[in-house]
């Protein structure tokens, strides 16, 4: 049984969704993911078309171990294995590394042989955060050649790690976030840590606090650079051919 999910879409996409039926044909899609933030990197992105019965996460529910690994350290291998088990069609790491603030990447997703993969999901860890991630979950795919749908994507918190905002290994269950990007470009160091607790369930991320020192203070996150407002990403998908 599929768990519930939350998705945020643009008004244009909502109108288009109401006018189309679920796609039943094998198809090729062009998908563009844009980083809308000023100072947040996205770790290797996972793009997938999967059955309606599958879902990568559900707001208000406990994160899976695979989602935890992605949200805390950018490891998408567990989610990939989960998707393979339901015959999903996936593209791993289309940006070939970190997707920088303001940058975009475009990939092709082909559902030939898997016409039941009618739902689109896109996830990636946000850096620097403890367990924040972009989350497009079970969105509709276009059903007519040339049709384009645009989804504005919120930041989620996996609820698996306290948001102490200090550098760490990024390993699941260990405190701290992995340092992103070139040294010094996307986070500070030597923070004493914010007194935070583990929330226990997936929810909309309430943003980072940060501080104003690169070498001390409570946080290793720069409050002048790395804070954001939702949406944090935009996903544009076009049905290119059937």
pLDDT for 214-234, tens place per residue? 899 999 999 999 999 999 999
At residue 170 the predicted structure's pLDDT band, cuts being 50, 70 and 90, is confident
Which class is 1-242 in CATH?
mainly beta
pLDDT tens-place string over residues 78-118: 999 999 999 999 999 999 999 999 999 999 999 987 889 99
At residue 25 the predicted structure's pLDDT band, cuts being 50, 70 and 90, is low
Asked if residue 183 has pLDDT above 50, the reply is no
b (16+ CB within 10 A) / e for 77-115: ebbbebbeeeebbbbebbbeebbbbeeebebebebeebe
Asked if residue 14 has pLDDT above 60, the reply is no
Asked if residue 44 has pLDDT above 70, the reply is yes
Asked if residue 35 has pLDDT above 90, the reply is yes
Pick the more confident residue, 174 or 235: 235
Asked if residue 34 has pLDDT above 80, the reply is yes
The mean pLDDT of 123-141, rounded to a whole number, is: 96
The mean pLDDT of 144-164, rounded to a whole number, is: 97
pLDDT given at position 235: 98
List own/partner pairs for 19-24 with CB under 8 A and 24 or more apart: 20/140, 20/142, 20/143, 20/144, 20/147, 21/143, 22/52, 22/118, 22/140, 22/143, 23/115, 23/118, 23/141, 23/142, 23/143, 23/239, 24/115, 24/118
Pick the more confident residue, 12 or 189: 189
Highest mean pLDDT among 11-20, 23-32, 87-96: 87-96
Question: pTM for the complete prediction?
Answer: 0.88
pLDDT given at position 3: 39
Asked if residue 184 has pLDDT above 50, the reply is no
SS3 124: strand
pLDDT given at position 186: 57
pLDDT given at position 62: 98
How confident is the prediction for the chain on average, in pLDDT?
88
pLDDT given at position 180: 64
pLDDT tens-place string over residues 51-63: 999 999 999 999 9
């Amino acid at each position: 049984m599929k768990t519930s999910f939350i998705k945020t879409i643009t008004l244009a996409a909502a109108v288009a969704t109401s006018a189309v039926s679920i796609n039943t044909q094998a198809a090729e899609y062009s998908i563009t993911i844009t980083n809308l933030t000023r100072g947040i990197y996205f770790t290797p992105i996972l793009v997938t078309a999967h059955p309606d019965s599958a879902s990568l996460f559900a707001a208000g529910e406990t994160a899976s171990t695979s989602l935890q690994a992605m949200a805390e350290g950018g490891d998408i291998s567990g989610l990939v294995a989960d998707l393979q088990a339901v015959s999903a069609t996936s593209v791993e790491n289309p940006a070939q590394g970190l997707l920088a603030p303001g940058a975009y990447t475009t990939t092709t997703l082909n559902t030939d042989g898997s016409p039941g993969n009618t739902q689109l999901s896109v996830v990636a860890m946000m850096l620097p955060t403890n367990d924040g991630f972009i989350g497009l979950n079970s969105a509709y795919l276009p059903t007519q050649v040339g049709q384009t749908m645009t989804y504005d994507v919120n930041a989620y918190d996996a609820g698996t790690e306290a948001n102490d905002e200090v550098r760490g290994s990024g390993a699941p269950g260990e405190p701290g976030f992995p340092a992103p990007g070139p040294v010094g470009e996307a986070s500070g160091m030597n923070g004493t840590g914010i007194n935070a607790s583990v929330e226990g369930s997936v929810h909309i991320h309430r943003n980072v606090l940060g501080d104003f020192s690169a070498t001390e203070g409570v946080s290793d996150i720069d409050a002048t650079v790395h804070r954001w407002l939702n949406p944090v990403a935009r996903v544009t998908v076009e049905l290119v051919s059937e």
